[in-house]
Structure 1
Amino acid sequence: MTTGGGATHILIFPFPAQGHMIPLLDLTHQIATNYAGRISITVVVTPKNLPHLHQLLSVHPSIQTLVLPFPSSSKLPTGAENVNDLTPPFFLTFIRALGGLYDPLIRWFRSHRSPPVAILSDMFFGWTHRFAAELGIRRIVFSPSGALALSVLYAMYRDAPPKSDVVSFPGIPNCPKYPWLQMSPMYRSYVDGDPDAEFHRNGFVDNMGSWGLVVNTFAELEEVYLDHLKKELGHDRVWAVGPLKPIVDDDDQTGPTNRGGSFSVPVDSIVSWLDRCDDRKVVYVSFGSVAVLCNDQMEALALGLEKSGVHFVWAVKEPTKELLDGGCGRVPPGFEDRVVGRGLVIRGWAPQVLILGHRAIGAFLTHCGWNSILESTVAGVSMLAWPMQADQFINATLVVDHLKVATRVCEGVQVVPNSDDLARAFIESVSDDRAERQRAARLHEAAVRATKDGFSSAKDVESLIDHLVAPETTSK
């Protein structure tokens, strides 16, 4: 169906977690910018997550929002509407609770005078495949994870490998293998018959049956795994559309700085500090929007930075009172005074895209979240890998072992690294002759090229749009 203006109407449904919402909203921005005459968009959101759409809606006032109350759940903390507000034990319950939006969505769709012809929804919303089937529309999965990570997730939930010292995936190219403790914690916590776990597993099975798949990656980075997914899914409706670019308002070129939130440190002061540093000599440290290090890890990291003598920017997630009381998230007392002049600590959300893109950044100590890996790749910055959970161990396999643009310095959410080893890694990471740096520079060129007109990701976005506006008889 089309709207009154002739544009094809699609429904976009981001999962409420920073690492999931940001890339899907970036894709929404790209579609609205380049295909305004062909596509009209409605975004589903719950009330407390509506502010995350502010920048998108200010740039694209034609985008409609469907604000639905968060389904009530006695098992979740009061007022929690975003994964970043929760501790890990609640994740599966949170995912299942959002399944309560099924009926409100059905009612909205059936009352709409020009309802969407397709729904593009996050991979944690596998139930929207059944929603789409009931309505006779197409469902496209959006994966904020890369193609290798998604291949492992699909194989894991389809084949259900039993607990073992090492879990292998022989059907995936290069046969990735992982210790049991590096598998997804949501999979490891699976209990047969548990309704939250069953809901999550069924969602991934539904993902594999959905009409299409969009992945935030690019062919030059993961072509072998994109080809694998097409083979596994039995069709070619797999589009690599990354690396997705941040939303930038034409009237306000600070878009990448406010991507995902506001900051406790003024952006100008961060840029001024970096401007005083030498090219490629600063280490940037960040563990994303979810991870909070225990105090022993904080002390080891701080000591490693202090011993190394390198310049650094350390973005520290602001811990809750419960985490602080539980021994997590504390910057060691006196640390900032001892490194004054060569170290900058940012408490809270940091303008990561802007920081990584500054000429002074020479290396990035990262938890290997997929958004961080792509942002580092676009910036041409080599990485120091400290994967902790979720898909991060899989992502580390790609950047450390296959692409060789990163060095593994630690592994695990509870492991405390050796500060001397960290110090050596920091020193080596900003050396001019580091091989990983040269490879990262070449990968940067491929990433930038992929999104230009006529190249792989730009062509895949065009193909996606062509499929969406095609008659519904093309769906299966």
Structure 2
Amino acid sequence: MTIKDEQQPLHILFFPFLAPGHLIPVADMAALFAARGVKCTILTTPVNAAVIRSAVDRANEAFRSTDAPAIDITVVPFPDVGLPPGVESVPALNSDAEGDKFFHAIHRLREPFDRFLAENRPDTVVADSFFDWSLDAASENGVPRLAFLGSSMFARACSNSMLRNNPAEAAPDDPDALVALPGLPRRVELRRSQMMDPKKRPEHWAFFQRVNAVDQESYGELFNSFHDLEPDYFEHYTTTLGRRAWLVGPVALASKDMATRGTNGLSPDADGCLRWLDAKPAGSVVYVSFGTLSLSSPTELRELARGLDLSGKNFVWVIGGAATEESEWMPDGFAELMARGERGLIIRGWAPQMLILNHQAVGGFVTHCGWNSTLESVSAGVPMVTWPRYADQFYNEKLVVELLKVGVGVGSADFASKFEARRVIGGEAIAEAIGRVMGDGEGGEAIREKAKELGEKARGAVEKGGSSYDDVGRLVDELMARRSSVNA
């Protein structure tokens, strides 16, 4: 449905968590709803507004020739909690102590959130699940809350099982012991070391239990996913668990800003990247990126460099701007390999990931399995080499490798944040996984063919008549009907 002939368009407030992996899909989602005639407002802080400004401006520019309302960004000050100026986002945090201050600031955002609801009375708020207090605030203002965490349905179902049953508690005290998650459509097992340990992280465990409960009490939940990707888990989530859900993705396909979305400062290395790819044969390049929240030790970087060299494949490797000096990790001969520029290209800083993944030269993606990256790879029809670190990433690896069969794991075994140590993956294992995904063997051909099929289904889902296009329309219809009944 497109809203027409209404005195006031439906108004949705989007309230994303302060991290690029949460902000970017919300900006894309706002563009999806705005294209259907919905007035969309994004509430965030100055530094985070800069991250999505380009994408929002490009969307509004595209809307000028239509009757779609412009997307607004409402900026509120980041609370003063003793963090350095400009530290307003998770990637900028350098210690657990800064993390504690940051979450104190998150709670203090309730006051401007309350004030916006009271003054503007939106028809609904799409609030990040990590703002668990936003349900009470929305209820007090008579506004229904839709939760959005930016994860897969499979991961949310696994997380629900873990938080309700704590199966690791009864497992052997062995990091490599297999732990089954009960109550899911198919058997899902993880090593104990791949799961959050409630004894090591009691505060995190309690927080995620609260988040899960609050989301279940909300009006419903939005997912950056599509029905053909995880149909069994949509059925499980909505029927077995009784939770209301709309699948509206892949939302990145709504973006009018493939080059600079998610940043206010593209890497200077990015300009030459696409020209470099143009000179490479189709499917010959492996793309390597671990998102905005992962840090690698010098030893890990060294083994990854060895793995890329051993694989024999061309590569584009994105290394965060704060990475250690090359002299600390670069193996012998690698500098010469890079200097010639024939086999490899390193990008320091922010890369145009969607443009890279959709380039015909790219035939594989070494990824941390963050959901945004995973879904962007699916949308591009590119198979994955999976290397999860923490959060929902081990669940997403299970989905990619075991259910969808569009990837191969490197053997990552430790649930560990960027401040924690983990076992190092050897270069030989990395090279083997790349070879299995991009090589000439029968298994690689099947993985690539499956990835291509999923890419076609992903693109079809957001087109007119597709499942995600229809879910957006159904939600808009329901919210309009709710407004009419409330105002009657």
Question: TM-score, normalising length from structure 2?
Answer: 0.85
How well do the aligned residues superpose, as a CA RMSD in angstroms? 2.8
Aligned to 2:175: none
Query: SS where residue 227 of structure 1 aligns?
Result: helix
1:433-466 Cα offsets, whole Å, 9 max, x none, are: 5221111111112111211211211111111111
Alignment partner, residue 288 of structure 2: 285
Structure 2: how far apart are the matches of 1:88 and 1:241? 35
8 Å CA contact 1:126, 1:205 repeated in 2:
no
Q: Check the 8 A contact 1:400/1:408 in 2, yes or no.
A: yes
Q: Give me the identity figure in percent.
A: 36
- Assess, with a 3 A threshold, how the Cα gap between structure 1 residues 136 and 333 changes in structure 2: closer, same or farther: farther
- Equivalent residue number for residue 20 of structure 1: 22
Report whether the alignment pairs 1:180 with 2:192: yes
Q: Point out 4+ residue stretches in structure 1 off by more than 6 angstroms.
A: none
Please give the per-residue CA displacement for 1:341-372, whole angstroms capped at 9, x wherever unaligned: 11111111111111111111111111111111
Q: Distance in 1 between matches of 2:379 and 2:209?
A: 33
The 1:66/1:273 distance shift into structure 2, 3 A limit, reads same
- Equivalent residue, structure 2, for 1:457: 468
Hey, what does 2:235 align to over in structure 1?
Answer: 227
Distance 1:367 1:259 in 2: 20
Aligned to 1:102: 110
Letter in 1 for 2:291: G
Partner of 2:350: 349
What residue in structure 1 maps to residue 387 of structure 2?
386
SS in 1 for 2:408: strand
Query: What code does the residue aligned with 1:303 have?
Result: R
Alignment-derived partner of residue 335 in structure 2 = 336
Report the CA distance between 1:162 and its aligned residue.
5.5
User: Counterpart of 2:453?
Assistant: 442
Question: Partners in 1 of 2:52 and 2:163 — Cα distance?
Answer: 32
Distance in 2, matches of 1:64 and 1:116, equals: 13
Instruction: Tell me how far 1:31 sits from its aligned partner.
Output: 1.0
Aligned residue for 2:65? Answer: none
Alignment match, 1:252:
none
SS at match of 2:292: coil
Deviates more, 1:391-400 or 1:89-98: 89-98
**Residues 121 and 143 of structure 2 are in contact (CA less than 8 Å); yes or no, is this contact kept in structure 1?**
no
Deviation at 1:218, TM superposition (A): 0.8
Of residues 137, 141, 149, the one that matches 2:143 is: 137
What is the alpha-carbon distance in structure 1 between the residues aligned to residue 332 and residue 347 of structure 2?
Answer: 15
Confirm or deny that 1:238 pairs with 2:240.
no
Which residues in structure 2 correspond to 1:146-161 (within 5 Å)? 146-161=152-167
| Structure 1 pair 399–264 and aligned structure 2 pair: CA distance change class (3 A) | same
Give the corresponding residue for 1:316: 319
The CA deviation at 1:225 is 0.9
Give how far 1:177 is off. Answer: 2.3
Alpha-carbon displacement from aligned partner over 1:62-101 (angstroms, at most 9, x marks no partner): 3233322223335x56642101112473556634531222
Q: Deviations over 1:7-43 (max 9, x none)?
A: 12221101111111111110101111x222xx21221
- The amino acid of 1:73's aligned partner reads V
* 198-207 or 369-378: bigger deviation: 198-207
Q: For 2:95 and 2:397, locate their aligned partners in 1 and report how far apart those are by CA, in whole Å.
A: 21
1:282-328 residue CA offsets vs partner (Å, 9 max, x unmatched):
111111111111111111111121122211111111226xxx49x99
Check the 8 A contact 1:208/1:233 in 2, yes or no.
Answer: no
| Counterpart amino acid of residue 393 in structure 2 | Q
- Which residue number corresponds to residue 297 of structure 1? 300
1:456–1:197 Cα change, 3 Å: same
Contact 1:9 1:41 (8 Å CA) reproduced: yes
Whichever residue aligns with residue 177 of structure 1, its letter is: E
**What letter corresponds to residue 467 of structure 1 in structure 2?**
E
Aligned 8 A contact 1:147 1:215 in 2: yes
Separation of aligned partners in 1, 2:222 and 2:18: 18
Match of 1:9 among 3, 11, 23: 11
**Residue 209 to residue 24, structure 1, CA distance change in 2 (3 Å):** same
Aligned mates of 1:470, 1:440 — CA distance in 2: 39
d(CA) in 2 for partners of 1:201, 1:389: 17
**How far, CA to CA, are the matches of 2:15 and 2:5 in structure 1?**
19
Number of aligned positions between the proteins? 454
CA drift at 1:279: 0.8
2:93 aligned residue? 86
User: Is the Cα–Cα contact under 8 Å of residues 44 and 66 in structure 1 kept in the other structure?
Assistant: yes
SS of the residue aligned with 2:259?
A: helix
CA shift at 1:198, angstroms? Answer: 4.3
Letter in 2 for 1:169: L
SS of the counterpart of 1:178? strand
Which letter maps to 1:175?
A: R
- 2:271 corresponds to 1:264: no
Distance change >3 Å, CA 92–CA 445, structure 1 → 2? farther
> Do the aligned residues in 2 keep the contact of 1:143 with 1:150 (CA within 8 Å)?
no
Range that drifts further, 423-432 or 273-282 = 423-432
| 5+ long unaligned stretches in structure 2 | 62-69, 173-177, 417-421
Given residue 19 of structure 2, which amino acid in structure 1 is its aligned partner? A
Shift of 1:167: 3.9
2:382–2:452: 8 Å Cα contact kept in structure 1?
yes
Deviations 1:365-403 (A, max 9, x none): 111111111111111111111111111110010111111
- Equivalent position SS for 1:137: coil
**What residue number does 1:426 align with?**
434
The C-alpha deviation readout for 1:406-432, integer Å capped at 9, x for no partner, is 011130352222222322333343224
Hey, what's the Cα distance between the residues in 2 that align with 1:426 and 1:470?
51
Residue type at the aligned position of 2:267? S
Q: How many Å separate the matches in 2 of 1:53 and 1:361?
A: 26
User: Measured at CA, do residues 416 and 347 of structure 1 come closer, stay the same or move farther in structure 2, by a change above 3 Å?
Assistant: same
Q: What's the TM-score, normalizing by structure 1?
A: 0.87
Residue 28 of structure 2 contacts residue 255 of structure 2 at CA under 8 Å; is this kept in 1?
no
SS at structure 1 position matched to 2:229: helix
The letter of the residue matching 1:368 is C
SS of match in other structure, 1:441: helix
Q: Does 1:469 align with 2:480?
A: yes
Identify the range of structure 1 (365-374 vs 56-65) with the bigger mean alpha-carbon deviation.
Answer: 56-65
Give, in angstroms, the shift of residue 280 of structure 1: 0.5
Q: What displacement does 1:153 show? A: 2.2
Counterpart of 1:60 in 2: which secondary structure? Answer: helix
Per mean C-alpha deviation after superposition, the further-off stretch among 380-389 and 167-176 is 167-176
